Amino acid sequence: SNIIGTEIVRPVVDETTALGAAYAAGLAVGYWDTVDELRDNWQVDRRFPVDEDADIEVNYDRWKDAVERSEDWAQDTGGD
């Protein structure tokens, strides 16, 4: 949330692609009459607010350093 400057909201159901397909199918066959009924089913699991005091550049640089250090951890066991 800090990097993009907006609050992130994580829903209870994390399979949002499957949920969206189910909602679309349910609307198509009349299981739900309106999109408002679907909104009543959606629930928040956790919110990640923007931390105005966070040092984004320092944290991002530390993350990039960690990624660089981990690049050679995986070993090829292909047997060639």
Distance between CA atoms of 25 and 44, rounded to whole angstroms? 23
Q: Are 50 and 8 within 8 A, CB to CB?
A: no
**Residue 5 φ then ψ, to 5°:** 70, 30
pLDDT digits 0-9 by tens, 19-30:
999 999 999 999
Q: What is the mean pLDDT of residues 5-25?
A: 93
pLDDT digits 0-9 by tens, 23-79:
999 999 999 999 999 988 889 999 999 988 878 888 889 999 999 999 888 777 766
Count of helices and strands (H, E) across the chain: 3, 2
Tell me which amino acid residue 5 is.
Answer: G
pLDDT of the residue at 80: 58
Q: What is the mean pLDDT of residues 6-23?
A: 93
Query: Who wins on pLDDT, 1 or 31?
Result: 31
Q: Is 11 helix (H, G, I), strand (E, B) or coil?
A: strand
